[in-house]
Amino acid sequence: MMKNIIETDSLHFEEHVLKSPGPVVVYFYSDHCLPCLTFDSIFKRVAASKETVRFVRIFRPHNRQLAEQYGVKSSPTLMFFNNREEVCRRLTGYISYTEFKESVEKLDTRTCPPAERGTVYSDVLIIGAGPAGLTAAIYTARSRLFTVVLESDIPGGQVSTTYQVANYPGINGAVRGIDLAGNMSRQAIDFGARIDDMQEIDEIRLEGTEKYVKTKENDYYAKAVIIATGSEPRKLPVKNERELRGRGIHYCASCDGPFYQDADLIVVGGGISAFEEVLFLARYARKVTMLIRSDTPRAPESYVEDAARNPQVEIMYNTVIKKVLGESFVEGVVLENTKTGGTIEMKADGIFVYIGSVPNTELFSPWLRLSDNGYIITNETMATNIPGVFAAGDVREKTVRQISTAVGDGTIAGIMAEKYIVLLR
């Protein structure tokens, strides 16, 4: 490692960053992070050309409290410091050599002030960069509409945290979820779409011919809006879930599973996602116990057979978690049989939860018609009750939620948004 590149942690952050006599670049990274793998060589190349700047690497999964303190929600995230103060605009997601080089040049020459609030005008504003949102962006951008995609995290949605996808047409076997998401992002960008990730929305106005969205950094105006915010995992219903979240209770096997080498794990759920992640976790864990609350899994028989054949996997039917044991970290669980009411204790180092999801629609509830379960109601053209506002993917009220159905929704929403804009002219 070069002399001006330092690997640090939360204990040494002040020494290596805040007390540095010169400018500092801070790089939060993770493993199993495709944008990080792409960016690593760029980081080293720029560091080699700038010996007057200190380049600090921080492994985000081992320094979550520090990341939360600075509002870092995804990897990679680049921050720039001068005289204890953060300067420049943060860089996240897929970061190009030119973009990073220019930011470091400004940092080194002390010409990099905090980013000013910006105003962005677009034809189509897409909220959410999962498969539905990215597909819509591919169609609208290819139709020569200036398309901006807003994402609260990094592009990809839930698919980017899925270890592998085997049921998406045309992949000829299986593909890592993060690779599939990366391909979609690059395709949208290649057609001219702009992706603004790490954007937290503060305000939204959807009525009228000019839609408005306000984030921490920018004001966005658009002729049409496509909502593709998806859903988020339903939380494990135990009293200490929040206290133990990230300390043994997890919702992403590909993110946190590798930390549980030779451990005893529990997977809660009986759907496709649960069975997919059980097989992934079995690569690392000593044993994986799958808990299904009924006597019939919701996944197809082929998934059940694959899990049953794995010697490290045990499936327990009619079983739920009544209580999670442990104060600072998960130590075990109390299991309850849903038929008999009987309980037993079981040792566990970690719990991975796949019991469905809830839609990310709270922001839109004052404007849009929602179903009893909180999903956005649309017609077959993905149109909502407000002209020029469309919804696509898992956020929409429908029967089946898969990557392929999200892509189909995004296709329709993109085409219909284009037709709507043509009628405005």
| Contact partners, residue 342, CB within 8 Å, separation at least 6 | 336
Q: Which of 36, 196, 255, 394 is catalytic?
A: 255
Q: Nearest to residue 83, comparing CAs of 62, 122, 50, 110?
A: 110
Alpha helices in 175-250 (DSSP H): 177-190, 241-244
Contact between 318 and 293 under an 8 Å Cβ cutoff? The reply is: yes
240-248: long-range pairs with CB below 8 Å, 24+: 240/324, 241/324, 244/324, 244/326, 244/329, 244/330, 246/64, 247/328, 247/329, 247/330, 248/324, 248/326, 248/329, 248/330, 248/331, 248/348, 248/349, 248/350, 248/351
The edge-to-edge listing of strands for the beta sheet with 343-347 is 319-325, 332-337, 343-347
Instruction: Give 2-55 as a DSSP string.
Output: -TTEEEE-GGGHIIIIIT-SS-EEEEEE-SS-HHHHHHHHHHHHHHHH-TTSEE
Eight-state DSSP code of residue 281: H
User: Has 256 been annotated as catalytic?
Assistant: yes
| Kind of pairing between the strands at 319-325 and 332-337 | antiparallel
Torsion sign over Cα 56, 62, 68, 74:
positive
Question: Terminal CA-to-CA distance of the chain, rounded, Å?
Answer: 57
Eight-state DSSP code of residue 245: B
Contact between 211 and 219 under an 8 Å Cβ cutoff? The reply is: no
Q: Which of 252, 349, 394, 409 is catalytic?
A: 252
Count CA atoms within 13 Å of residue 289 on its CB side.
Answer: 20
| Packing angle of the helix pair 403-424, 131-142 (nearest 10 deg) | 40
Q: Which of 256, 349, 394, 409 is catalytic?
A: 256
Determine the Cα angle at 82 with ends 78 and 85, to 5°.
85
201-205: long-range pairs with CB below 8 Å, 24+: 201/127, 201/150, 201/152, 201/363, 204/363, 204/364, 204/367
Classify 84 in phi/psi space as left (phi over 0), alpha (psi -120 to 50) or beta.
Answer: left
Contact between 395 and 358 under an 8 Å Cβ cutoff? The reply is: no
**Residues classed as catalytic:** 252, 255-256
